[in-house]
């Protein structure tokens, strides 16, 4: 009942807003359309290994070329925006958890599970940012305040709204990670063709992004399972949050 209702009530502009969401969250097969063959439990360390023959570790291949300015800028802004995103995610869950678990104590393990995964992602990107000497976003304090406010606000509106918030954020984030993986694979392709290939740390980054993307989409599934679609008015809430996410991604990539 609820889902067809949502579709019939959607205005044309919100339909446009939702199109990528449907292609991501409608079927779990299409969800992993970007070809991750890694099972969920796979560690990032194992994922880059399937292509050892092209790896110039043997010494006979041409040396790796330096990264171009565009590539370095892409990688910096990618790591910067990912760190900001995971910071926001941990703060959203931190703010939501006390309110959600008080009204629905059975959600405690789920909230803890999602929070722990987000903390893991945040730590991953923190160490990557430090290792690659990327500048963290200057909007850090603003994102901290806004995301904690978003988490608290949606949790105040009830469990459904909190889950709708998760649904909206994770949809946007899933899209965003897919875009980054796509760019990285294109970059790897260019490097293979140009000789030298891609360094192990970048291959590992692809694996890390795939793992994190899958975990984020898992959160999306959890949110939908826990009545995210029952939030009122669902289209307005998710549309608003996704617009905010898009704006935050745009800003964090730049400053």
The annotation places the binding site for Fe cation at 86, 118, 121, 170, 216, 219
Segment interacting with another protein, rule: CB under 8 A, options 11-19, 22-30, 73-81, 237-245: 73-81
- Judged by beta carbon, residue 197 or residue 239, the one nearer another protein is 197
SS3 assignment for the chain: CHHHHHHHHCCHHHHHHHHHHHHHHCCHHHHCCCCCCCCCCCCCCCCCCCCCCCCHHHCCCCCCCCCCHHHHHHHHHHHHHHHHHHHHHHHHHHHHHHHHHHHCHHHHHHHHHHHHHHHHHHHHHHHHHHHCCCCCCCCHHHHHHHHHHHHHHHHHCCHHHHHHHHHHHHHHHHHHHHHHHHHHHHHHHHHHHCCCCCCHHHHHHHHHHHHHHHHHHHHHHHHHHCCHHHCCCHHHHHHHHHHHHHHHHHHHHHC
206 binds another protein, rule: CB under 8 A = no
130 binds another protein, rule: CB under 8 A = yes
- Judged by beta carbon, residue 12 or residue 193, the one nearer another protein is 193
Segment interacting with another protein, rule: CB under 8 A, options 3-11, 28-36, 74-82, 209-217: 74-82
Segment interacting with another protein, rule: CB under 8 A, options 22-30, 32-40, 166-174, 193-201: 193-201
- Judged by beta carbon, residue 20 or residue 196, the one nearer another protein is 196
133 binds another protein, rule: CB under 8 A = yes
Number of residues that bind another protein (CB under 8 A): 37
Q: How far is the CB of 96 from another protein (least distance, A)?
A: 13
- Judged by beta carbon, residue 65 or residue 182, the one nearer another protein is 65
Q: How far is the CB of 194 from another protein (least distance, A)?
A: 6
Q: How far is the CB of 205 from another protein (least distance, A)?
A: 11
Q: How far is the CB of 128 from another protein (least distance, A)?
A: 9
CA nearest neighbour of 161 among 245, 85, 226, 217: 226
Q: Contact, 159 vs 104, CB < 8 A?
A: yes
Binding another protein (rule: CB under 8 A), the pick from 9, 16, 68, 109 is: 68
75 binds another protein, rule: CB under 8 A = yes
- Would you call 135 exposed, middle or buried from its count of C-beta atoms within 10 A (0-12, 13-18, 19+)? exposed
Q: Which residues bind another protein (CB under 8 A)?
A: 63-73, 75-76, 79, 83, 98-99, 126-127, 129-136, 138, 140-141, 156, 190, 194, 199-202
């Amino acid at each position: 009942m609820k889902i067809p209702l949502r579709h019939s009530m959607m205005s044309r502009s919100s339909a446009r807003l939702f199109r990528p969401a449907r292609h991501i969250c409608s079927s779990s097969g299409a969800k992993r359309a970007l070809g991750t063959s890694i099972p969920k439990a796979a560690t990032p360390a194992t994922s880059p290994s399937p292509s050892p023959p092209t790896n110039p570790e043997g010494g006979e291949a041409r040396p790796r070329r330096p990264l171009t300015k565009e590539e370095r800028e892409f990688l910096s802004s990618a790591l910067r925006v990912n760190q900001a995103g995971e910071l926001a995610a941990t703060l959203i869950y931190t703010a939501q958890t006390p309110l959600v678990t008080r009204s629905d104590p059975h959600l405690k393990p789920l909230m803890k599970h999602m929070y722990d995964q987000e903390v893991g992602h945040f730590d991953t990107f923190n160490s990557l940012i430090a290792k690659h000497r990327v500048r963290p976003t200057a909007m850090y304090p603003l994102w901290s305040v806004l995301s904690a406010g978003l988490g608290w606000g949606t949790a105040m509106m009830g469990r459904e709204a909190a889950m709708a918030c998760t649904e909206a954020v994770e949809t946007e984030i899933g899209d965003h990670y897919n875009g980054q993986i796509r760019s990285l694979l294109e970059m790897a392709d260019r490097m293979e063709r140009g000789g030298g290939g891609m360094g192990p740390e970048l291959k590992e980054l692809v694996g890390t992004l795939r793992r994190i993307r899958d975990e984020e989409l898992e959160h999306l599934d959890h949110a939908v399972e826990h009545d995210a679609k029952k939030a009122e008015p669902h289209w307005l809430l998710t549309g608003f949050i996704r617009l905010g996410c898009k704006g935050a991604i745009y800003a964090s990539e730049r400053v």
